[in-house]
Amino acid sequence: MRTYDSDVCIIGGGISAAMLALKLTELRPGISITVVEAGRKLMDLENRMRYRQRSIEYAENPWPGDFIEDQSAKGIISRTMALGGSALHWGGTCNRFSEEDLRLQSMYGLGVDWPIEWKELEKFYCEAERRLGVSGEPSPLPDDWRSEPYPMSAMVMTHNLKELKAWAEKSGIPFWSTPQAKNTRPYDGRAECIRCNTCSICPTGARYSPDFTFKRLMERKSFTLHDQTLVRKLLLDDTKPAVALARAVHRERPDEPVEYRAPVFVLASGYCWSPHLLLLSQCPRFPNGLANRSGLVGRYMCGHAFISAMIEIDARIYPGMNEQHGLISRQFFRCKPGDPFVRHDLRIWESAAGHEPRLRGSDGRVLLGDALLADWRQRAQRGTARVRGYYDAHPDRESALTLDATTRNRWGDSMPNIQHKLDAATQARQQFTTDHFQQLFQRLSKANNGKILSTSQGNYLDHPAGGCRMGTDPSSSVTDSFGQTHDHDNLFVVGSPTLPNAGCTNGTLTFAALTLRSAERIASRFRGAA
């Protein structure tokens, strides 16, 4: 048995782990930190232009080897399991939640309140934006106040977005540039965006991904990274309810079990694998899994639902100018108490939908060469707006991650099965929500001779979170507001699992902000150790 000792053992190597480890090394440079990641480390920026090209030409995986064949879950939306996690290939969108997300119970009688004040969280949003390198344009709405400006000026609004903004604002709804973790100037040692239009594989490093942070951390002697090492179980101290060690296996040396010992353990494995590890770590003293006296580990799995529309308009749109950058309106983040509840963001992107080359004309006849081009040009005279709203949908207690005994990895561990379920109030207002969006799409399409080409309701919950929700009451939550588990003094959960609800816009910035706040609490345990 190989044993590694450190002051803080972080399990998982995604964006939360990167933020936590970086801040801990700054606050307490003397402590030793180990990050244990089940997937591989993919730090080959020099190859990403080639991967991008292969992805464009052959639809090959632009992140080769970023998954583990037998480590999968039912109900997830991404198989990525590598150093950097899902934020290897994220779009970089960095929207904040709003105060309403933290006050659902007290303002609307829905869900639960978060055990944290907005003003407190806002400070950490600013810090997360600095660390990730966010370029953005301030919201014109007073309720979206910020205590600091964005670190970088907003991404250039392309001709296409200017056209779409002019069109959309005829509806009376203000739109502005979506904030993104993409460099509009050289920032933090990374290059300026050169508009490659493939942000899921940014070949220049202009879009933040956690591998850059880890690369920097690896230059420090006090930081250790173990990749390809799967933590299979947390074991408790014999005499107290504290985690004593994490038992793991290296994927290429399975005959040499590994143990990690630390005074503090942090789960930073995301909404799926953090609760999964807690459930797998069941023992006689905690037969339902660690940190699970409340029975809520793996419960209240959440995410936001979404509705989309393609709207064709009279506008000169040139598809491909910068498809990854869009407009946002936060006009609908707030809902007056007493009004029918609906909260959502509203986003607009350029699109080629309805105006792509096609093999057959309207009469079904095959189009070749010049005929195909003529048909395409004729249809491309109008532009298309892709419109989408993420809306607030609240989880039921039975929205659950459970262990699936029928699916096991090569080590025999049951794999997770996530089945989302929305609470009764969310289900009851679904028709109202759908009608609201239909009216909104109609309102937008009145301008510029607009025509709704299609609408669609998402069939999954995006930006999933939950499974270890935070709260003040140990009987109705798994962790406190810092991610410290109620049941184990030295065990923390950071990032997405701690969210009681997933808001109505992208969650990554919130995961990072909460993690940075947790870092201060974790660092405080080492006062004097620096």
Partner 1 sequence: MRRRTLLRWVAPLAAAARFPGVRAWAQTVTFPGGHDDTLVALAEIVLPSEIGPAGIREIARRFETWVRDYRPGAEMDHGYGFTRIRNKPQSPAPAYLRQLDSIRPALLHGDAASRRQAVEAALEDAKIADLPRTPDGRHIAADLMTFYFRGSDANDLCYRSSIGRDLCRGLKGSDNPPAPLSGKGAR
Q: Which residues bind partner 1 (CB under 8 A)?
A: 54-62, 64-65, 67, 69, 72, 76-80, 86, 89, 155-159, 162, 184, 192-198, 200, 203-204, 316, 318-323, 356-360, 366, 368-370, 372-373, 376-377, 380, 460
- Min dist CB 73 to partner 1, Å, is 9
For partner 1, the closer of residues 158 and 481 by Cβ is 158
On the CB side of 477, CA atoms within 13 Å amount to 25
- CA–CA separation, 412 vs 229, rounded Å? 16
Residues 6+ apart with CB under 8 A from 439: none
For partner 1, the closer of residues 54 and 250 by Cβ is 54
For partner 1, the closer of residues 283 and 359 by Cβ is 359
- Min dist CB 182 to partner 1, Å, is 10
φ/ψ (deg, to 5) at 62: -75, -5
- Min dist CB 99 to partner 1, Å, is 28
Q: Is the dihedral of CA 153, 155, 160, 165 positive or negative?
A: negative
> Could you tell me how many residues make up the chain?
530
Give the pair of three-digit tokens for residue 221.
């002697």
For partner 1, the closer of residues 73 and 242 by Cβ is 73
For partner 1, the closer of residues 159 and 421 by Cβ is 159
- Min dist CB 35 to partner 1, Å, is 24
For partner 1, the closer of residues 350 and 480 by Cβ is 350
- CA–CA separation, 371 vs 360, rounded Å? 10
For partner 1, the closer of residues 39 and 289 by Cβ is 39
- CA–CA separation, 382 vs 480, rounded Å? 52
How many other CB atoms are there within 10 angstroms of residue 380's CB atom? 18
Q: How far is CA 494 from CA 20, 305, 499, in A?
A: 9, 23, 9
- Min dist CB 63 to partner 1, Å, is 9
- CA–CA separation, 312 vs 363, rounded Å? 21
- Closest by Cα among 313, 358, 322 to 448: 313
Please give the biggest Cα pair distance in the chain: 80
Burial-class residue 424 by CB neighbours within 10 Å (0-12, 13-18, 19+): exposed
- CA–CA separation, 195 vs 435, rounded Å? 37
Residues 6+ apart with CB under 8 A from 140: 174, 176
- Min dist CB 251 to partner 1, Å, is 16
- Min dist CB 196 to partner 1, Å, is 4
- Min dist CB 514 to partner 1, Å, is 22
For partner 1, the closer of residues 69 and 339 by Cβ is 69
- Min dist CB 307 to partner 1, Å, is 16
- Min dist CB 330 to partner 1, Å, is 23
Give the pair of three-digit tokens for residue 423.
């609470």
Give the pair of three-digit tokens for residue 239.
């005499």
For partner 1, the closer of residues 82 and 266 by Cβ is 82
- Min dist CB 117 to partner 1, Å, is 32
Residues 6+ apart with CB under 8 A from 287: none
For partner 1, the closer of residues 159 and 293 by Cβ is 159
For partner 1, the closer of residues 28 and 52 by Cβ is 52
Sheet of strand 8-11, all strands in order from the earlier edge strand to the far edge: 223-226, 33-36, 8-11, 264-267, 491-493
- Min dist CB 238 to partner 1, Å, is 40
For partner 1, the closer of residues 162 and 446 by Cβ is 162
Beta bridge partners of 451: 312
Residues 6+ apart with CB under 8 A from 346: 173, 175, 328, 329, 331, 332, 387, 388, 389, 440
Give the pair of three-digit tokens for residue 193.
């965006």
